[in-house]
Amino acid sequence: MLNGGNVSADIEFNKNGCTFCNRTEITYILKETPNFLLAADHAPLVEGHILIIPKQHFTCYGEVPAELDTELFSMKHEVQRFFTRYYAPTVFWEHGIFKQTVFHAHLHCFPWGMSGYNLGENLHTIIVSSQEEVRQWFALQGHYFYMEDRNRALLFAPEMDRYLGIVKNVFWRGIISRGGKVEWRSPQQRYEEGLPLIEAMIAKWRSFQDQGAGYVKNASQ
């Protein structure tokens, strides 16, 4: 955990031991752009579980600078087209440091359809309309967690009750909707059981790429 006085020392330590910087926990890269990787989660919760990871070491997306927003959005749109064609609409999820297991920014992409979260549940803290708001929150308040579906993006204060509420209402429902298992499994178990899911997703990704990645090509191309 980052704490007051030792922030820069901690960041330096995390960077050196970082499994995303040294790519030991990145099993398969679907796509690479100048600043981002699109990679299969190496311990997928469901088929189609992929990650958008900045190549540079940032602790969370609240730290990723505005210059990278356009590239991030086009990566997100490509995931949305992929999921819509082969699975269901996308739910994006970020730990925002809270409950992170790899201390390097990564956006989870799940093909769960709509999140099913109702604003009346009041678990969210703010409705977010830009990455700038995530950066502002991080600069002023620190940790958070984040969820986005086709309708809206939400930021949550890092509190266990909110987190468990979302896991129960959104994650379980999403996992079940894709035929996944909701009982607790260790990352090692998820990794072992995940290989066929990753292979199935990669096969779909290849055919998606072969078909022009969901872009409507114009006559001049």
Residues engaged in binding Zn ion (CB under 5 A): 18, 20-21, 57, 104
Nearer to Zn ion, 104 or 124 (CB): 104
- In the numeric block, the tokens 């730290």 are attached to 63
205: closest CA among 79, 20, 53?
Answer: 79
Nearer to Zn ion, 106 or 208 (CB): 106
Nearer to Zn ion, 86 or 98 (CB): 98
Nearest approach, Cβ of 121 to Zn ion (angstroms)? 22
Residue nearest to Zn ion (CB): 18
- In the numeric block, the tokens 């079940």 are attached to 176
Nearer to Zn ion, 21 or 114 (CB): 21
Nearest approach, Cβ of 11 to Zn ion (angstroms)? 9
- Asked whether the beta carbons of 94 and 145 are under 8 A apart, the reply is yes
Nearest approach, Cβ of 14 to Zn ion (angstroms)? 7
DSSP letters spanning the chain: ---GGGHHHHHHHHHHT-TTTS-TT---EEEE-SSEEEEE-SS-SSTT-EEEEESS--SSGGGS-GGGHHHHHHHHHHHHHHHHHHS---EEEE-TTTT-SSSS--EEEE--SS----GGG---SEEE-SHHHHHHHHHHH---EEEE-SS-EEEE-S-HHHHHHHIIIIIHHHHHHTT---S---HHHHHHHHHHHHHHHHHHHHHHHHTTTT----TT-
Nearer to Zn ion, 2 or 21 (CB): 21
Nearest approach, Cβ of 89 to Zn ion (angstroms)? 20
Nearer to Zn ion, 20 or 117 (CB): 20
Nearest approach, Cβ of 202 to Zn ion (angstroms)? 20
Q: Please give the Cα distance from 87 to 10 (Å, whole number).
A: 39
Nearest approach, Cβ of 208 to Zn ion (angstroms)? 23
Nearest approach, Cβ of 207 to Zn ion (angstroms)? 27
Nearer to Zn ion, 51 or 208 (CB): 51
